[in-house]
């Protein structure tokens, strides 16, 4: 008996395989595309903005040149010369010192029994300002009192490193001496004294220890101040 056995590996029904969707790859592609689009738009915007700014700068330069050419060149030269003169005058004014301010201070500190016979002012530039004076007093005691007045700590913003020296007796029984001291240069700053009320007030206060009411550049040395 013949038994026929027929086998086949070919499926009778179609085989449907599941489709795998790569979600991560699609999202990465989408993000890359968006970044690319944004970069293109940004680059284009920057380019257009640069073009616009360049045009504005060119237009402004052209306007300035046209405006400048509308002025008379001789008038411009006169204005430039005047400006240079004003700047030079301003520089000189700011560097100007007013040594006459010292007379007010010295007058207010000088004792009644003391007088000065000579006055020498030295300005070596910067803060190197000093004075040298020769004086006479009725006695050595008066000289000592005068030295105490000039070296009073309340006047540290006026006098610097004050020195009394060469005390001697004269033929009349009085005493002679010399006095030298450095001067605070800010006290003599004419520009600030005239233009800055606060600065002027601060300097007036610095010399008010002996009854000085204000910094006055018109006062002279006196010998009749009561103490």
User: What pLDDT, on a 0 to 100 scale, did the predictor assign at position 134?
Assistant: 94
**Cα–Cα distance, 6 to 151 (Å, whole number):** 136
Q: Is 10 inside a domain boundary? A: no
With DSSP H G I counted as helix, E B as strand and the rest as coil, what are the percentages for the chain, rounded to 5?
A: 50, 20, 30
Angle at 167 between CA 118 and CA 155, to 5 degrees: 65
Q: Is 206 inside a domain boundary? A: yes
> 159 and 59 in one domain?
no
What does pTM read for this prediction? 0.49
Domain count, the chain: 2
Q: Which of 76, 93, 110 is the last residue of a domain?
A: 93
Cβ neighbours, 10 Å, residue 6: 4
> 176 and 79 in one domain?
no
**CB of 165 within 8 A of CB of 178?**
yes
> 66 and 126 in one domain?
no
Q: Domain of 121: which CATH number?
A: 3.30.1360.100
> 82 and 108 in one domain?
no
**Cα–Cα distance, 83 to 133 (Å, whole number):** 43
**Cα–Cα distance, 225 to 211 (Å, whole number):** 10
> 114 and 64 in one domain?
no
User: What pLDDT, on a 0 to 100 scale, did the predictor assign at position 118?
Assistant: 92
Domain of residue 60 covers 36-93
Task: Report the percent of the chain where pLDDT is more than 90.
Answer: 13
Confidence of residue 178 (pLDDT cuts 50, 70, 90): very high
User: What pLDDT, on a 0 to 100 scale, did the predictor assign at position 222?
Assistant: 37
Across 128-151, average pLDDT: 90
Q: Is 174 inside a domain boundary? A: yes
Q: Is 222 inside a domain boundary? A: no
Q: Is 227 inside a domain boundary? A: no
> 109 and 89 in one domain?
no
> 89 and 108 in one domain?
no
């Amino acid at each position: 008996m013949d038994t026929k056995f027929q086998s086949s590996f070919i499926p009778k029904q179609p085989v449907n395989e599941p489709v795998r969707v790569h979600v991560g790859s699609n999202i990465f592609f989408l993000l890359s595309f968006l970044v690319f689009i944004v970069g293109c738009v940004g680059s284009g915007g920057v380019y257009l903005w640069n073009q616009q700014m360049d045009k504005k700068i060119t237009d402004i330069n052209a306007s300035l040149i046209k405006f400048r050419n509308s002025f008379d060149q001789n008038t411009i030269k006169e204005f430039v010369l005047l400006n240079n003169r004003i700047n030079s005058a301003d520089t000189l004014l700011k560097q100007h010192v007013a040594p006459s301010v010292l007379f007010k201070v010295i007058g207010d500190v000088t004792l009644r029994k003391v007088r000065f016979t000579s006055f020498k002012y030295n300005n070596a530039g910067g803060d190197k300002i000093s004075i040298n004076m020769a004086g006479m007093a009725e006695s050595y005691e008066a000289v000592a009192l005068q030295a105490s007045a000039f070296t009073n700590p309340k006047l540290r913003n006026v006098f610097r490193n004050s020195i009394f020296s060469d005390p001697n007796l004269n033929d009349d029984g009085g005493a002679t001496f010399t006095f030298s001291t450095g001067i605070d240069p800010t006290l003599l700053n004419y520009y600030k004294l005239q233009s800055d009320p606060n600065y002027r007030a601060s300097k007036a206060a610095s010399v008010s220890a002996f009854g000085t009411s204000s910094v006055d550049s018109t006062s002279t040395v006196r010998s009749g101040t009561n103490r």
